[in-house]
Structure 1
Amino acid sequence: MNKAHERCGSEEWRQAIREIILPWALGTTDLGDDVLEVGPGYGATTDVLSESVPRLTSVEIDDELAAMLTERFAEMPNVEIVRGDATALPYADGRFTGAACFTMLHHVPTPALQDQLFAEVARVLRPGAALVASDSLASPELEAHHEDDTYNPVDPATLPARLEAAGFAEVEVRTNPHGWAAIARAAKK
Structure 2
Amino acid sequence: MGYNLSVSPSRRPKLGQHFLSSEGYRRRIVNSLALRPEDLVIEVGPGRGAMTELLAERAGRVVAVELDAGLASDLLRKLEHQPGVEVIQGDILATDVKEICRKRGAKSCFVFGNLPYYITSPIIHHLMNSAGVIRGMALLVQREVAERLTAQPGTRDYGYLSVRVRVHSEPRIAMGVPPGAFSPPPKVHSALVEFAMKPKFPAWTAQDLAAFLEFIQRCFAQKRKNLLNNLGQVFSKDRLRQTLDRLHLPPTARAEELTVEQFAELREKLKG
Please report the TM-score for the alignment, with normalisation by the length of structure 2: 0.50
Secondary structure in 2 matching 1:34: strand
**What is the aligned partner in structure 2 of residue 83 from structure 1?**
89
Unaligned runs of 5+ in 2: 1-11, 102-107, 151-159, 179-189, 201-272
Map 1:48-87; keep pairs closer than 5 Å. Answer: 48-87=54-93
Residue of structure 2 in register with 1:97 after alignment: 109
Q: Alpha carbons of 1:19 and 1:89: their partners in 2 closer, same or farther (altered >3 Å)?
A: same
State TM-score, norm by structure 1.
Answer: 0.68
Q: Counterpart of 2:138 in 1: which secondary structure?
A: strand
Residues 20-75 of structure 1: CA distance to partner in whole angstroms, max 9, x if unpaired? 34335x3x465852110000011111111111111000000001001111121112
8 Å contact from structure 2 (residues 35, 58) kept in 1? no
Q: Deviations over 1:96-148 (max 9, x none)?
A: 6111013x332xx2xxx4222113223345456100112454xxxxxxxxxxx
For 2:149, the equivalent position in structure 1 comes to 159
Task: State the 1:16 CA deviation.
Answer: 2.8
In 1, Cα distance between equivalents of 2:176 and 2:84: 33
For 1:159 and 1:23, the matched residues in 2 are separated by 22
Name the CA distance, whole Å, in 2 between partners of 1:31 and 1:180: 26
Q: Specify the SS of the correspondent of 2:48.
A: coil
Deviations 1:62-90 (A, max 9, x none): 01001111121112230000001111213
Between Structure 1 and Structure 2, which shows a larger proportion of helix residues?
2
Judged with a 3 Å threshold, the aligned counterparts in structure 2 of structure 1 residues 128 and 58 are, in CA distance, closer, same or farther, namely closer
Q: Give 3-state SS (helix, strand or coil) of 1:42's partner.
A: coil
Distance 1:46 1:100 in 2: 10
Query: Residues 56 and 14 of structure 1: is their aligned pair in 2 closer, same or farther, counting only changes over 3 Å?
Result: farther
- Which piece of structure 1 moves more, 90-99 or 39-48? 90-99
1:121 to 116, 127, 136: 127
Structure 1: 5+ residue runs without aligned partners? 138-153
Matches within 5 A, 1:101-112: 101-102=113-114, 104-106=115-117, 109=118
Is 1:44–2:43 an aligned residue pair?
Answer: no
Greater per-residue strand proportion: 1
3-state DSSP of counterpart to 1:118: helix
Given that 2:120 and 2:141 are in contact with CA atoms closer than 8 Å, whether structure 1 keeps it comes out as no
Q: Report if aligned partners of 1:66, 1:81 keep a CA contact under 8 Å in 2.
A: yes
Structure 1's 14 and 164: CA in aligned 2 closer, same or farther, altered over 3 A?
same
Report if aligned partners of 2:169, 2:195 keep a CA contact under 8 Å in 1.
yes
The SS at the match of 2:193 is strand
How many residues align structurally?
A: 160
